[in-house]
Amino acid sequence: MALLVNTRLLLRKVKNARSLMPKRHRMKEKWAATLPKFPPTSLALQHFDATYSVQLGQLWPSVRIALLSERKYGALLNTFSHDAVLEDLQAKGCRDFITDTDTEGRGALPEHFSALPCLDPESVVGVEGESNDVPVKKSNADRHLKISPKIKCLVFPRGDITRFKPARPDTQRLLGYYLLDAASVLPCLALDIQEGHIVLDLCAAPGGKAVALLQTQAIGFLCLNDTSVSRTLRLKKVLHSYIPKELLTSKNLRITSSDGTKWGEIENNTFDRVLVDVPCTTDRHSVMEDDNNIFSKNRIGERRRLPQLQLELLLAGIEAACPGGEIMYSTCTLSHIQNQSVVEQAIHLAQENHGIILEVVDLRPLTHMFRKTFHFAPNLHLGEMVIPHLGANFGPIYMCKLRRLT
């Protein structure tokens, strides 16, 4: 009897204590009884193990470790800011990878630099589909690579994973630098923006590459588009933090939220340069973050439709370019099906359906120039790709540049 009384008194004290406890310290009961047996990150890693172990062979184990490790960032310098950011970052041991290149690789491809052998298409087949054996016209090596002197991106030394501090606004409320994967600057550099060019960024949000393009201060007219209205709003917020108001409100800049796959019907034969940085499986995010993960079970259909969406976007970008113009296709995935296969199909369909003849521009001068900073995949038969590596944990970033001949 005494035990029962003591138990009741104890329960009453616990109840009273809970009622007195501030709400912020109480734990809300969860409705779900258990966590998902296979979270999206786990499903993504299983998929990559099955696909990339075949595609990358002996490279995959080291790439896998790097993907699962903390990534490196670069600080894209904002030339519109008045703060002395460059000197401050250099004092902390950072270097501008764009100017600090291999002395043999700077500006030209050596005469002895022979053509890279092509991979057997069967050796790079992923589980998503089969490789397309589409013949492509390749340009002769562009031995001299023009790099905008205005674009600067600082990184910590190879093997150093020190984090950058958030940028602070200057007196004009502009931030001094934009933090991003330094490899994502490469497609902007390779696009070779010249004075007065009319440029289209077809999938511009969240805005890192748009900020990089604007750093050239050479663009005659820039159109930034993204299909998603919410992502376009985010793009505008980014631009307001980095670009002067007078430039954002000028007639030389336009921001739209149109369906990128229909752009060829909106404006064709117009742009000197087109950047098509398409939605993809975003490999690093897929293995690290369950939130907004494309390998979630409710996004299976969306993931399977990605290669078709990428193809439609690239074809729209090709139509938007003027004859003689250049198109840069880029992703942040290792997937052959989302990279080379999309380019192959686009080249074939552009000629078959629109009479547009394209050639692939050789980007080996770019890889040779920046081999001191990035780890590039060997022997790709189309385009170039930065692959994650513990010593230089950037990427993955795939890029392929096309030149429209007709």
Q: What is the pLDDT of residues 329-386, one digit of tens each?
A: 999 999 999 999 999 999 999 999 999 999 999 999 999 999 999 999 998 999 999 9
Per-residue pLDDT at 135: 60
- Decide if 188 is catalytic: no
Describe the chain by its helix, strand, coil percentages, rounded to 5.
40, 15, 45
- Phi first, then psi, for residue 22 (nearest 5°) are -60, 145
- Which residue bears the tokens 């189309």? 382
Say whether pLDDT at 206 is over 90: yes
Stated as kind and residue range, the H or E segment containing 286 is: helix 283-288
Enter the pTM of the model.
0.85
List, for residues 142-152, the tens digit of each pLDDT value: 556 678 889 99
Question: Which residue in the block uniquely carries the two structure tokens 């897929």?
Answer: 286
Mean predicted lDDT score pLDDT of the chain: 87
Domain regions of the chain by residue span: 40-104+143-404
The reported pLDDT for the residue numbered 235 is 97
- 60 close to 166: Cβ distance less than 8 angstroms: no
- Kindly state the tokens that stand for 105: 């690789």
* 110 in Cβ contact with 177 (< 8 Å): no
Q: Alpha-carbon torsion 289, 291, 292, 293, what sign?
A: positive
Q: What is the pLDDT, as a whole number, of residue 257?
A: 96
Query: pLDDT, tens digit, for every residue of 181-201?
Result: 999 999 999 999 999 999 999
Topology of the domain comprising 40-104+143-404? Rossmann fold (3.40.50)
CA dihedral 113, 331, 40, 49 (to 10 degrees): -20
384: its two tokens: 């170039």
pLDDT at residue 125 greater than cutoff 90: no
82: pLDDT confidence band, cut at 50, 70 and 90? confident
Distance CA 48, CA 335 (A): 9
Q: What is the pLDDT of residue 149?
A: 87
Sign for the pseudo-dihedral over CA of 244, 249, 250, 254: positive
Cβ atoms within 10 Å, residue 351: 16
The active-site residue out of 94, 223, 280, 332 is 332
Q: What is the DSSP string of 160-217?
A: --PPPPPP-B-TTS-BSEEEE-GGGGHHHHHT---TT-EEEETT-TT-HHHHHHHHT-
